[in-house]
Amino acid sequence: MATFNAKVFKHHKKADGTYNVKICITHKMDRRYIDTVHFVTDKKLNKDLSIKDSFINSLLNAQLDSYRNAASRLGKRLELFDVEMLRDYLLNKDETIDFMKFCQTHLDHLKANGQTKSEANYKTVRNSISDFTKGKPLPIEDITLAFLKSFERFLRAERRMIRIDQFGREYIQVGKPLSDASVHNYMREFRGFFTAAMAYYNKPSLGLQPITYNPFAEYKLVDLPETRKRNIDIEQVIKIRDCQVEKDSRAELARDMFMLSFYLCGINAVDLYLSKYKIKDGRIEYNRSKTKGKRQDKAFISINIPDEAHPFLLKYRNMLSDRYATITNLNKALSKGMADIRSLTGISGITFYWARHTFGNLARNKCRKSKDDVALALNHVDFGRKTTDIYLEKDWAIVDEVQSAVLNLIKKHGGIKIPENSPERPQLFSFINLPKLVK
């Protein structure tokens, strides 16, 4: 049983001689306090610090009755609450959920988990929702099917966007109408925000469901257009590897990072940027940032480091985070560098991410590796085999076989090429394994 009463503490006396009146909640032999808007002076207190002012008492009694009634309505569910949960419930029971405020809470959560790429994608969508609502709070009950359709129309039209520059000054951008693919992605992330809000606020085990309606149950995402091919053949990979670029240019960064990703089974730029991997017994081991929150094994993978990858791994291990303040900045540099690579090689459309697609495509279609083995090498999430994966130990030799088969294609067509002035393997590994480089 929970009890509620008003309290004033002598040691809480403020410099102006007033005390803040607090509501004391006692439940399961524990206490928590809620600040009120009421302040009293010594003249309004009895010697035992009880309040003698009848007007303030009438206001406090109304608040106490409200809390007692709310606790009574919980019935048997009250026993499922500890005192901390009860206090939070009482504070928030009548509060309108501001969806925009929750969006920031979710972004902070993604950032704390190191999901910087997801944070960036979600932040873009949050900003667009804010553009649509003109920066006003958005009560979550206002997000209806009609709201979603109206927001989609907003995305498909030219729109005015207010942004903040590095000096804190507002400036206006005009956004171009989005394509079907972009609209699909924006609305998918919007749905992700809403689903996260329902998980955050709704507590079915306690019988609490402040968000009762999910408009995305009725809303149909626009179909994605057929994805065009995002892979190249082995001759084009060699062409990228061998293209001549200016030293220390974005083109050199893009070329080297493209090849490093290809050599390491399609490793993502963010995982190279974060440098949270370990070098152990000639292997690179890390948790893939994109999927570590979706798998029980935190998306762990262990990949052999082939000779071709050694100099690039050594060169870029600490340089990326020193040169680029965020992964977004690195991605922009890679994008510009890949534009130069397209011009130098004549290979149209290629981006950094094509290294990953190309590795997977060659592994499956040229080397005839099974889809399961290719998925293991690419460190994919496999929702269909979660139960099976609980019983199976990962065999990294399978990844090694897939990797070796793909890299052998290069050896057959153009031979191994290690950048000039590269250290020998033993020297490289003795340097990489220094404690300051192992995180």
Mean pLDDT of 306-321: 91
Task: Dig out the tokens for 56 from the structure.
Answer: 């303030």
Indicate left, alpha or beta for 135 from its phi (over 0: left) and psi (-120 to 50: alpha): left
pLDDT per position as a tens digit, 68-117: 998 898 888 888 889 988 898 888 776 788 999 999 999 999 888 878 87
pLDDT per position as a tens digit, 118-164: 888 999 999 999 999 998 999 999 999 999 999 999 999 998 887 77
Domain boundaries, the chain: 3-92, 99-217, 234-437
Taking Cα atoms as reference points, which of 360, 379, 358 lies closest to residue 370? 360
* CATH among 1.10.443, 1.10.10, 3.30.530, 1.10.3470 for 234-437: 1.10.443
pLDDT over threshold 80, residue 436: no
State the DSSP H helix or E strand holding residue 19, giving kind and residue range, or none if neither: strand 19-27
Q: What span, in angstroms and rounded, lies between the C-alpha atoms of 256 and 240?
A: 9
Q: Which residue type does 382 have?
A: D
* First CA to last CA distance, the chain: 50
- What pLDDT band is residue 289 in, cutting at 50, 70 and 90? confident
Q: Supply the pLDDT for residue 380.
A: 83
Q: Residue by residue, what is the 3-state secondary structure of 187-205?
A: HHHHHHHHHHHHHHHCEHH
Are residues 154 and 190 in contact, defined by beta-carbon separation less than 8 angstroms? Answer: no
280 - beta bridge partners? Answer: 283
pLDDT over threshold 90, residue 324: yes
Structure pTM? 0.60
Averaged pLDDT score across all residues of the chain: 87
Place of tokens 């520059």: 165
- Bridge-based pairing of strands 30-40 and 19-27 is antiparallel
242-247 long-range contacts (CB < 8 A, ≥24 apart) are 242/414, 242/417, 243/341, 243/344, 243/345, 244/344, 245/340, 245/341, 245/344
